[in-house]
Every structure is written in C-alpha cells, then in structure tokens.
Chains A and B, each alone.
Chain A
Amino acid sequence: MLRSAGFAAVFIATATAGVAEEFTWAGTTDPQTMDPHAVNSAPVLGFLNNVYEGLLRRGKDMRIEPALATSWEPIGAGEGWRFTLRQGVTFHDGSSFDAEDVLFSYERASDESSDTRSWFASVSEVKIVDDYTVDIMTTAPNPIFPDSISNWMMLDAGWAKANDAERPDKDNGNYATLNANGTGAFRVAVREPGLRTVLEPFDGWWDETEHNITRAEFTPIQNPATAVAALLSGDVDFINPVPIQDTARLASNPEVKVVQGIEARVIMLGFPHEAEALKYSAETSDKNPFSDVRVRQAVAHAVNVPAILQTIMRGNAEEVSQLVSPAMRGYSAPLADRPAYDPDKARALLAEAGYADGFSFGLKCPNDRYLNDEAVCQAVTGMLAQVGIKATLDAMPVQNYWPELRADNYDMYLLGWSPGTFDAEHPIRFLASTPNEEKKLGSWNFGGFSNDRVDELLPLIQSEIDDAKRQAMLDESTKILQQEVAYVPLYVEPLVWGAGANIDLTQRSDNFFILRWVTVN
C-alpha cells in the first residue's frame, strides 16, 4: 500500500517535471492587500512590484531606471520634475496608460486615506502637459524625488472608478484590496488572502521578458522549520528568509542553494539623550550617564561587533559605522570605520566620565523583529558587563516593544532602520533630527537626540541639487553623529534566501523578490 503510494508520488513528480516553469515560493508574511497605495510596508510593496509598476523602478543593483517614464529631468532651478511617459503601455485589462493615470495615481497615493502620502509631502501640484508628459511640482528643490517614488505604482483611473476603488480603503477594504490591474510583468490570477496568490505572465507587457515562468504561486509559511522542509522536499522553489542557523545545512545540500547578501537595514543601539535619570538602575537613579558623550563612546568601544557577526550571525552580516549601509545613496565612504573594539579604552572613558565603578541600567530589546535580535542583545549585555556597566536585558515581542519605546521606558534600546528612500537623508530625518511633530521630523528619534548643526543641514541636504555639495553636507552630518555617538551602529542585517538548485534569481538589497528575474532550469 505504502509502496504503491510511493510509486504514485514518483509518477506525479515526473509528470509535473515537464512543465518546470511553474514556480512556487514562500515567505513569512502574506501581503495584506493588493492595493499599492493602502499601506507602506515591505511585504506589500515587494510583492506588488511584480504586478504594478511606477514611473521608474530599481534595477538589480538598486539604481533607478526608466519604467513607465522613459526619461525625467528637473524643471528650472528645482521647481519640480518633468517625466516623459512611455507610449504603448497597457494595463492588464487592456486599457492604455497615459498622463491621466499618473495624475489619478498621485491623487490616490497622496490622499489622506493612503499610507504612502508621505512620499508626496514636498509635492505642490501635478500638471498634465500632454498625454505623455507630466510635471510634478515641488515646494522646494527635491533632488532625490525620483529616488523616493520608485515604489509609487500606477493605477488605471478608469478601472478604479468603474470598480468604486478611487481611494484606498484600509479599514473596510474595497475592490482594489483583492484585485489588481497593473502594467507589470505578471497579473494576479488568483488571490486568496493568507492562503495563496497566483501570478501569471502578462502577455502585453512592454518590456523584454527575462524569465521563463508560466505560472507562479506564492504561499505564506510562518513556521521557519516548515518553510525549510518545504524547500528541501521540493514543494516550493524558493523561501525567504532561511533561518540563520539552517544556512550551513542548506548550503551543503546539493539540491538547494543559499543566496546571501546584505539588506538595507542597519541595526543600532539607541540612548535616552533627553532623560533626566536612568529608569532601571539599581544605584544611579538621580542622573543619566548616557547624556555624557564619553559614556556613549565607551559603549561603542565595548561592543565587539566582529564577534557578534561571527557567532550569532554566522558570518552573514557586515559591520557598519553609520546609519545607512554602503549600498545606499549618500553613504559617507570616508567615514567607513566604526570605533574599534577596545575594552581598555572603554574603561578609561568611563573612568574619565566619573563611572570608574560602572553602573547598572536597563536594555530593551525586541525578540521577534530583527534576525536573532534577542541573542544580539544578550551578547551586548555580556560585552558591556566586561567594561563594568551592567545591563538588565528586557526582551519582548515587537508589538509590545514600540509602545514601551514611545513611553520612554528604556535606558538603552536596539533599533533597526531601513531607509525607505535608500538614501542617507532618510535616517537623518527620522532618527537624528530634533523631534518636531508639525514638521514630521524625528518621529523615530525616541531618545530625543538633538544637534543644531544636524537640524540646520537637513533642509539644505533635502533641497541641494548638486550631488557633490549634497554629499559634503551628508558627510558633515554623519561625522557629527559619529562624534556625538547619537547611536551606536552595529551591523547591516543579512539577507539569506533559499532556492532550488535549478533556480536562477537575483537578490536585491531591499529584500524585494522580483519574479521577472527568475529562471527555472
């Protein structure tokens, strides 16, 4: 009985081998909506990049390249940007793409009900010049505007109106939540939220086809062990991520391969710059040692990042000295060295600051947000103890973590930051600017770090058209943040993907899985 079942399985396996272009893949998170303007989250935007397209897109090296716009140029002295649209592009339902759709997609994506509206904060107006030319006017010169809209996807105005989905509806959903009509290389054939999403190639796609897929199916698999088993048994062709502890085992298996790289996310330690006193200290309850830059420097020298990467990340991550990874635009190459691991220097700095005997404090850490986050915090706790400062680690699920940070319930915390614009200006705006609710600055600067020069430079960086001048200002900001030890950047998070040995694919550092670069051999 079992044997005949086995034969049957073998027979089915060989029968399906003939149509090998069917591709199945699994990820931990199901994209919660098919609406490209409803939420601003990596699982959704990454998935929909296969279905929808923007005016421009990112290539294999993350550089922006023409997509639905063939070219773009600044208008005048930075009053805006002019985009020349591609002609002959059709949506999946056959209707054609033109300037009306761009204007509609702007209105939709910048609407109060859309989470992507912050991309258009600097936009004052979108003007249709002719059917295939659009001017996007900005309130101030915005050199990185094209970079910041690579995930702004184009929706067909007529389709949205006909289906009563003119605005995204996150709260109750609408037609666009479950259906899609983009211009991308794949169209959504089946959408069952939380179960599976089937994509089929779009015959009318404007660009040259690189892939050989005839049908692709995505299934969310939350349990990492199940995902690994599914890959090993050949039930899926690709999984993301591979648990760090399984990488070596998978790499040694000839039937699968591990694709490694680094992500855009920088993991760092944050401090309570503004706090009057420590909250979780046994003895130092009247002052805040971390407000002294020497103590922050001591922390930077006390953490042995190479050792963390070697043991906890199994050699999969790279250390970093600033708030963005080297792959990002505006990275300060001359400032690439992070403070060396030097416990003696750390102790000397602590003694100089008046803490020769050390002190105790509380370290807050998420335990399900970043790769091996809790283990990293445990290692940091051990390393800090060696120079005399004793952390009490409190690790918790991320949904409990953010409220704690917002309530200032920490003496030190772990944070990961992935710049949405892939530009060094992004973390300065969110993490290093003096918090200002009205100007939407420093909204993730929990510790309230504040430096006048950094605040002064930010608007200049945001509006500088000249690349060299802009880079000089970014370098200056980065240098200040390093000298002040606003944060202690530790490492760039690794990307570990697993695929069948017969799959060729391209890994992009924003962790987006781009189906049109996949070949099944």
Chain B
Amino acid sequence: MLAYVIQRVFQSAIVLLVVGLVAFSMFRFVGDPVDNMLGQERTQADIERLRTQLGLDQPFPVQYFKFLQGAAQGNFGVSYRQGRPVSDILMERAPATLELAAVSGFLAISIGIALGVFTAIRRDGFAANAIMSVSLIGVSLPTFLIGILLIYLFSVELGWLPSFGRGDTVKIGGWSTGFLTESGLKALILPSITLGLYQMTLIMRLVRSEMLEVLRQDYIRFARARGLRDRAVNFRHALKNTLVPVITVTGLQLGSIIAFAIITETVFQWPGVGLLFINAIQFVDIPVMAAYLMLISVMFVGINLIVDLLYFAIDPRLRVDRTAAH
C-alpha cells in the first residue's frame, strides 16, 4: 500500500516538473515583455538592462530553475505588469473562479442528473426527445458563442441580467464573495450556465445511458415483479447503481471546469484567474503565466492522484495483485 502511494506521488511530481519545463520553453514564443514595460521612449540600453534585470537573457532551463527555487519557498515572483507579488494577485482572483466553478458544477450535476433520469424513464416521450435534441447544442456549440448568445438575449434584448463582471462583492477575511449581494447572484447566472452547459449535457447523457443499461438488468425486473412501486425501483435500485461511473467522470470534470473557465471568464469579463492568465499572455507577464500553469497542473495532477488512490482503495483486485507481486 505505502509503496504504491509513494510511487504515485513520485510520478505526479515528475509530471509537474515536466509541465513546468514545457511551459518555460514555450514562454519565449509568447514574445518579449520589455517593449511593453518600457514604452515609446526606450533606448537599446534600457532594453538590455531590463532583460538582464528580469533574467530574460538567460537560457530557459536557468529561468525555470530560478522559478522552481522561488516556488519551493512559496514565492512566485512579481508580476511584470502590475508590479505586485503574483501570489497576492492569484489570491485576489481565485475566489471569483472558484465560486463560478462551484455554481457551474452544482448546476451541471443537479440538472444533469435530473434530466438524465427523466429522459431515461420517459425514453420515448416527446419531452425527453426534445431535451435530448436541445442537449446537442450544449455539446456542439463552442462556449464563447453560447456566452455571447446568452448576453445578447438576457442582457441586451431583455435587460434582465448584467452583461459582464461579478456585481458587488462582500469581503469575508481574504475571500471576496458574490453570494451575499443581489447583483453578485445575478451576475453569476449567465456565466455559470455558460461554463456548466457542456458538463451538464455530458452528465445528462451519461446518466441516461447508464440508467437505460441498469433498467434492463435482471434485478430491476425482479424488483418490478415483486410489485415495488416505480419510484422505489427507479430511484432506490436503478439510480444508485447508475451513479458509480457518474461520480468518477464528474470528479475528473471538476478540474476542467476550473481550467476551461478561461473562455467563459473572457466573454463575461469575469475577474477570475482565467482572465488574469489571458491578460498575462497579452502582456507577456511570465511570472503570472508560470504561476497559473503550475497551479492548474497541480490541481489536475492532484485530482488524478486522488482518483488513483481511490481506485486502489475500492478495487480489491489491484491490492491483491500488488501484494502478491512484492
């Protein structure tokens, strides 16, 4: 058991290091930050001085090593553009992304499961077929287009919801929340639908097909033969057994909700880490880009590690094989 855990943690660390290395080797293709930092009246000497000062004149493995040195001590450097510590900026922006991701995830799971069950039970009904057709939009339309369509419908045409931003926020400790104000809650609606729509349709379709599969099983037939009510059969016996693969997929999707928030945040000017990253690319703000990429990869690697360890805990065969081999 312990050997397995150590091995997985070790592998995760290597993945992280490689991601960082690839990221740093890409940064020089993003462009040169010095022009933006110096403005119109710079001289060649200014450019060279700044490049030396930022360490841009060094080969990228050296730059990467310095970044790792700092990161190991919790220091992600100072943003080229804002002149403030990157960790401060990330801490300021993280609540926006996490709240958006939480609401999107909640919407995706609750609506996705409800609609999935509904379409499975009323397989041939008109409403179920209509939902299945409409759900194709969720999987086929790109996120930014859905976002812009929603803005035009609900903000420009109907004027019900704000077209951008996060509304008013309340500070609780270091956390700024939009959950406690009316404008904050209203501002959450469109972005969370946009961000969660893909996951929602995915969960819905997954639940539907799993449920149809389960409903065909013998024990469901026996349950019906025993004269149990539909509700008990559908929810107690069928749905429970449907949820095992759904939970696995949903867990993995959680990471992508946060990572893919970039597009939604750009369309809605949502002040989260994704928007921060997009701006950082525009201004070649290498410390911000590096910290964001590392953060996201830590998250993905972390989720995968947890899933791996859960499998190990759940699946007895894995355990037996391992112990037998040692």
Contact = CB atoms under 8 A, between A and B. Distances in A.
Interface residues of B, number: 52
B83 A177 contact: yes
Interface in A108-128: 115, 118
Nearest to B96: A195
A175 B297 CA distance: 34
Contact of B266 (A40, A223, A403): A223
Contacts of B164: 219, 221, 226, 229-230, 235
- Name the 7 nearest CB pairs between A and B, nearest first: A399-B31, A173-B83, A233-B155, A118-B41, A40-B39, A400-B31, A402-B35
Contact of B43 (A232, A234, A440): A440
B40 A6 contact: no
Contacts of B162: 233, 235
Contacts, number: 141
Contacts of A193: 82, 84, 89
Contacts of B40: 40, 418, 420, 430, 444
Interface stretch (A76-84, A164-172, A292-300, A301-309): A164-172
A6 B157 CA distance: 12
Nearest to A178: B84
Interface stretch (B134-142, B237-245, B268-276, B298-306): B268-276
Interface string B157-192: 011111111100000000000000000000000000
Contacts of B89: 193-194
Nearest to A169: B83
A204 B22 CA distance: 55
Interface string A414-448: 00001010000000001000000100100110000
27 contacts: A6-B160, A38-B83, A40-B41, A115-B39, A118-B41, A169-B83, A170-B37, A172-B83, A173-B84, A192-B92, A194-B89, A194-B276, A219-B165, A219-B269, A222-B282, A223-B267, A226-B148, A226-B269, A235-B162, A235-B163, A368-B282, A397-B31, A398-B31, A399-B282, A403-B31, A440-B43, A443-B42
Interface of A: 2, 5-6, 9-10, 13, 32-33, 38-41, 115, 118, 169-173, 177, 192-195, 219-223, 225-226, 229-230, 232-235, 368, 397-403, 406, 418, 420, 430, 437, 440, 443-444
Interface string B174-213: 0000000000000000000000000000000000000000
Contacts of A115: 38-39, 41
A478 B113 CA distance: 72
A226 B151 contact: yes
Given A9-B160, A233-B163, A420 B32 contact: no
A443 B163 contact: no
A194 B279 contact: yes
A399 B32 contact: yes
A340 B83 CA distance: 48
B293 to A, nearest CB: 18
A398 B37 CA distance: 13
Nearest to A193: B82
Contacts of A400: 29-32
B159 A13 contact: yes
B260 to A, nearest CB: 16
Given A225-B148, A397-B31, A171 B83 contact: yes
Contact of A32 (B83, B158, B275): B83
B45 A437 contact: yes
A251 B151 CA distance: 20
Contacts of B278: 222
Contacts of A170: 37, 83
A222 B283 CA distance: 12
Contacts of B38: 115
B256 to A, nearest CB: 21
Interface string B78-112: 10011110000100110000000000000000000
B44 interface: yes
B52 interface: no
B83 A222 contact: no
The prevalent SS among residues of A at the interface is: loop
Contact of B160 (A5, A225, A398): A5
Nearest to A403: B32
Contact of A443 (B44, B159, B268): B44
Contacts of A437: 43-45
Contacts of A194: 82, 89, 93, 271, 275-276, 279
B152 interface: yes
Interface in B1-55: 29-33, 35-45, 47, 53
A234 B159 contact: yes
Contacts of B45: 437
Nearest to B268: A226
B83 A233 contact: no
B160 A229 contact: no
Contacts of B115: none
Contacts of A444: 40
B127 interface: no
Contacts of A9: 159-161
Interface in B251-301: 266-269, 271, 275-276, 278-279, 282-284
Contacts of A5: 160
A177 B41 CA distance: 21
B307 interface: no
Most-contacted residue by chain A among B159, B161, B267, B284 (CB, 10 A): B159
Contact of B78 (A171, A222, A223, A443): A171
A169 to B, nearest CB: 7
B33 A41 contact: no
A368 B284 CA distance: 14
B279 A443 contact: no
B249 interface: no
Contacts of B318: none
Contacts of B276: 194
A39 B30 contact: no
B156 interface: yes
A124 to B, nearest CB: 19
B81 A32 contact: yes
Contacts of B81: 32
Contacts of B284: 399
B283 to A, nearest CB: 8
B40 to A, nearest CB: 6
Contacts of B47: 406
Given A32-B81, A173-B82, A223-B267, 5 more contacts: A40-B40, A171-B83, A192-B92, A222-B269, A398-B35
Contacts of A192: 92
Contacts of A368: 282
